[in-house]
């Protein structure tokens, strides 16, 4: 078995309260997944990420492939063991970073040749290679290799990009299915395997998005992601694409919107029926001094907080808000102290994870919609 997905409640707005059973963790959804790019949620130790209640975190295939290398991680027992993270992990396909971070990309039907942003060395990624790397890393969930269509994109460009993504999806799942028993913890976890999610692309064209979803569903992935959003488009377009795709996806499998978003966005999408979301925003913004609070966004660098002895967020019960003042957090930032990034990140993650915890409780309490689905196992 790769995953189990038990729908507990579905609201008439489409919101879903479910339980996602992964090899390393049973994840209560909807879930927000903190990003741990290079095997660390930047600036926060694993025991603290656990205490914050994170159930499932991301690793970036591109970064880990380049450093320390997927083969080294496999030899050390996989990413869970390497970074000492006992709960669930998801790795992206590497595609997004190849397109956004690397240099001298050359895309062909076969794959992508690129140069490392670290040392300029040349690498070639194919769907098959992405699968091999992700199987070596051994996250609970792997992602199909896709091309993230840029915004704006002409229709012809979006069509061509989708054609590539669909061909790569086919090759991804074929290769993955042929090798999924090779994951390092396969025997230790009683023959369980990783799951593979397909990624819906199609730019901002509703019919291309529909086509993308339909073709991927035919391939029978373990779950479906909506990618290519939060790439610069206006927010109502993001919403439109999500609303277009969600009803097409199988109700009995998890749905993941990649790379979103602001606190009100993740809340809105969760109520619409998105089960999983990830975003660098809470962690990256924290390192730049931007805190998300119940009173709105707060730029902790602002001079007005120089002697503000109140907590970052008066309504927050996190370990930072219980102990430290705005004035102290501002001081750490002004002084360039490493603790600044740590404390800001802890608060922002607590805020994001708290939103999802509240939404889960509300969905759980919602009226049960008649005609529920039986638990799904794949």
The catalytic site residues sit at: 92, 278
Helix, strand, coil percentages for the chain (3-state, nearest 5): 40, 20, 40
DSSP labels for 121-186?
-EEEE-HHHHHHHHHHHT-SEEE-------SS--HHHHHHHHHHHHHHHHHHHHHHHHHGGGSTTT
Specify the DSSP class assigned to residue 32: E
Nearest CB to a second copy, comparing residues 173 and 329? 329
Contact 374, 10 (CB under 8 A): no
Tell me how far, at minimum, the Cβ of 164 lies from a second copy, in Å. 31
Query: Using CB under 8 A as the criterion, which residues of the chain lie in contact with a second copy when the complex forms?
Result: 38-40, 42-47, 63, 67-68, 72, 75-77, 82-84, 306-307, 309, 319, 323-325, 327-328, 331-332, 334-335, 337-339, 341-343
CB of 242 to a second copy, least distance (A): 33
The beta strand positions in the chain, using DSSP E, are: 4-10, 16-22, 25-29, 31-33, 56-59, 88-91, 103-107, 112-115, 122-125, 141-143, 195-200, 223-226, 255-257, 276-278, 290-293, 296-299, 376-377
Contact of 28 with 37, CB cutoff 8 Å: no
CA distances from 158 to 126, 166, 198, 215, 293 (A): 20, 12, 17, 16, 37
Asked if 275 contacts 30 with a C-beta cutoff of 8 angstroms, the reply is: yes
Q: Are the C-beta atoms of 7 and 372 separated by less than 8 Å?
A: yes
For a second copy, the closer CB: 77 or 178? 77
CA 148 – CA 141 distance, rounded (Å): 19
Q: How far is the CB of 326 from a second copy (least distance, A)?
A: 11
Closest distance of CB 303 from a second copy, Å: 11
Give residue 48's Cα distance to chain centre: 19
Closer Cβ to a second copy, 166 or 333, answer by number: 333
Torsions phi, psi for 16 (to 5 deg) = -125, 130
In this structure, the strands spanning 16-22 and 25-29 are antiparallel
């Amino acid at each position: 078995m790769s995953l189990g997905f038990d729908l507990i409640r579905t609201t008439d707005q489409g919101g879903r309260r479910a339980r996602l059973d992964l090899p390393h963790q049973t994840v209560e959804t909807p879930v927000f997944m903190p990003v741990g790019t290079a095997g660390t949620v930047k600036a926060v130790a694993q025991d603290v990420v656990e205490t914050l209640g994170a159930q499932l975190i991301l690793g970036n295939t591109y970064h880990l492939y380049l450093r320390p290398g997927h083969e080294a991680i496999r030899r050390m027992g996989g990413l869970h063991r390497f970074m000492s993270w006992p709960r669930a992990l998801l790795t992206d396909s590497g595609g997004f970073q190849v397109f956004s971070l690397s240099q001298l990309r050359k895309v062909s039907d076969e794959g992508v040749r690129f140069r490392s942003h670290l040392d300029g060395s040349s690498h070639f990624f194919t769907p098959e290679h992405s699968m091999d790397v992700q199987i070596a890393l051994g996250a609970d969930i792997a992602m199909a290799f896709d091309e993230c269509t840029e915004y704006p994109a002409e229709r012809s460009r979006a069509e061509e990009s989708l054609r590539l993504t669909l061909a790569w999806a086919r090759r991804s799942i074929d290769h993955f299915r042929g090798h999924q028993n090779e994951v390092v913890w396969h025997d230790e976890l009683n023959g369980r395997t990783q799951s593979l999610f397909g990624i819906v692309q199609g730019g901002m064209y509703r019919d291309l998005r529909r086509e993308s979803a339909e073709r991927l569903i035919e391939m029978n992935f373990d779950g479906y992601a909506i990618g290519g959003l939060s790439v610069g488009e206006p927010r109502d377009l993001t919403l439109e694409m999500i609303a277009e795709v969600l009803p097409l996806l199988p109700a009995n499998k998890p749905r993941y919107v990649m790379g979103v978003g602001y606190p009100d966005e993740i809340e809105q999408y969760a109520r619409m029926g998105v089960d999983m979301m990830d975003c660098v925003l809470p962690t990256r913004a924290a390192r730049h001094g931007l805190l998300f609070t119940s009173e709105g966004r707060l730029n902790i660098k602002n001079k007005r907080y120089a002697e503000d002895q109140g907590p970052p967020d008066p309504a927050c019960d996190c370990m930072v808000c219980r102990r430290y003042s705005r004035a102290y957090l501002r001081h750490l930032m002004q002084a360039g102290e490493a603790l600044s990034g740590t404390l800001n990140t802890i608060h922002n993650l607590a805020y994001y994870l708290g939103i999802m915890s509240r939404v889960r409780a509300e969905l759980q309490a919602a009226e049960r919609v008649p005609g529920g689905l039986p638990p799904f196992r794949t």
